[in-house]
Amino acid sequence: MVHLAIFDYGAGNIFSLKNSLEKTGATVDVITNFDKPNIYSGLLLPGVGNFDPAIKSIRKSSKTDFNDYVKDTTPVLGICLGMEMFFEKSEEGNEKGLGVINGDVIILPSSMKVPHMGWNNLEIKKSGTILEGVNDSAWVYFVHSYSVKPTNNDVITAESDYGIKVPAVVEQGNFFGTQFHPEKSGKVGQIMIQNFLDVCKK
Amino acid sequence: MTLTKRIIPCLDVKNGRVVKGLHFESIKDAGDPVELAEKYSNEGADELVFLDITASDEQRKTIKDLVRKVATVIDIPFTVGGGVKSLEDARNILLNGADKVGINTGAIKNPQVITELMELFGRQCVVVAIDAKRNFDIQKDKNIFSENGKQFWFEVFIYGGKEATGIDVIEWAKKAEKLGAGEILLTSIDKDGTKDGYDILLNREIANSVSIPVIASGGCGKPDDMVDVFKKSNVDAALAASIFHYQTHGVNGVKMYLKDKQIPVRL
């Protein structure tokens, strides 16, 4: 049995994510700080809320630092905003990001409707843990107004076309991010959740 | 490929059952909401919308259980609306598993709630639902349109289409966007339940007035009505109820038809 934690910033629907992890056979705790010992095989940063309040809830509700909690060992899946927080800073707010992946978060181009909301194709750039068993052009559900811009493009394993090439999946060490919502992306999403769980089992 | 057009079955829920009416009235039973949600999700619906049209606040409390049950069985996004007045109402819906909350009368009565919701939950959660009706009594300060030789403007109605507000739909949609709406769910009262097609003019004008996604609603009776609204307006999604509930067309069948007509859809 895989034991996972979802960090709750207190700002929205984490029920669906919890439900989809449990369907895959995990036991899930919802945590609001990092002060208890890390007993989990994996951590999820969910994708609802705003950058500054979410970062503040991670930083200010705990005595323990995020980086000290997960180190380079606990697999972390950041979804949407959760993935954006991996980076150094965001145009959505003034707070510093978690800075575990180098790069910024920028607003989507104003030539397109924002938020980017709906089902879009994945363009797979290279193989990766999260994408195992996922076909090129698979449909996933996006809802976001900002997009990540990694300093090193090598961390991007899949993109999606929305006026610009939106990095859709990033992977670096024990950090995995999806700009879309796997828990809302039907069967394809469930495959990716299972892939993350498999990493956690190791 | 880029973003697809979304096909959204709508479930009007009254006292825990899915119902369907004509021009917002004369209600008919159409099934169990959780069963229908699962069925539509499996058939390839891109999203679902639940509108709670239960009469009293007391009975409406059951929506929380419904949201939870639906969230357990489906893995696509869904919106819940109906009777949402406050941040607390919205929170109750979102924390029980809905992805977005629809707000209609509550937003007209207290527009600030749109901003509060956006700040707390993010813009993507906030769907402002607008019920629009053509008003042929011409007033100078309104956006006037003409069709078939008649002049009119689009007026916002509240309380399930029962009460006129005197507010111009175009102005309200723009204001809602500015206040923090992430999406507009636009229902034509004139067309709702008629099955003779969406109000193309209404959908075109609103989609061109805002830069957030617009969901066309009201009047869909056949897949061609969806083709029509997607070809003739810049809406992002089409919502329908009866063509799905009464098995006239399965969701997948409708999407195959749309693809055939060169509408980008997820299959």
Where does B16-111 have alpha helices with state H?
33-43, 57-60, 63-73, 87-94, 105-109
pLDDT over 60 at A11, yes or no = yes
The alpha carbon of residue A147 is apart from the nearest alpha carbon of chain B, in Å, by 14
ipTM entry: 0.86
What's the pLDDT tens digit per position in A136-171? 999 999 999 999 999 999 999 999 999 999 999 999
Tokens of A20: 């989809």
Q: Is A183 a catalytic residue?
A: yes
- How far is A34 from A61, CA to CA, in rounded Å? 8
Q: Would the CB atoms of A16 and B97 count as touching at under 8 Å?
A: yes
CATH T-level topology, domain B6-260: TIM Barrel (3.20.20)
- Nearest CB among A48, A114, A120 relative to B211 is that of A114
Domain with A156 in it: 3-201
Domain count, chain A: 1
Sequence length of chain A is 202
pTM: 0.91
Average pLDDT over residues B201-222: 96
CATH number, position A148: 3.40.50.880
Band of residue B121 on the pLDDT scale cut at 50, 70, 90: confident
Tell me the β-bridge partners of B152.
Answer: B145
What's the pLDDT tens digit per position in B14-38? 888 888 765 455 567 778 999 999 9
Q: Is B12 a catalytic residue?
A: yes
**Residues in chain B within 8 Å Cβ distance of A161:** 1-2
- How far is A101 from A83, CA to CA, in rounded Å? 10
Disruptive mutation site among B96, B124, B209, B233 for chain A (greatest number of A CBs within 10 Å)? B124
Catalytic residue among A116, A144, A183, A200: A183
- Domain residue ranges of chain B, discontinuous segments joined by +: 6-260
pLDDT score at B144: 96
pLDDT score at B136: 97
Sheet of A89-90, strands arranged across:
A89-90, A103-107, A146-150
pLDDT over 80 at A13, yes or no = no
Closest C-alpha to B212, from B187, B255, B179, B167: B179
Band of residue B61 on the pLDDT scale cut at 50, 70, 90: low
**Residues in chain A within 8 Å Cβ distance of B178:** none
pLDDT score at A113: 87
pLDDT over 80 at B60, yes or no = no
The mean predicted confidence, pLDDT, of chain B is 91
The alpha carbon of residue A71 is apart from the nearest alpha carbon of chain B, in Å, by 29
B213 in contact with A at a CB cutoff of 8 Å?
A: yes
Helix (H) or strand (E) holding A3: strand A3-7
Query: In chain A, pLDDT over 70 holds for what percent of residues?
Result: 100
Contact B172, B153 (CB under 8 A): no
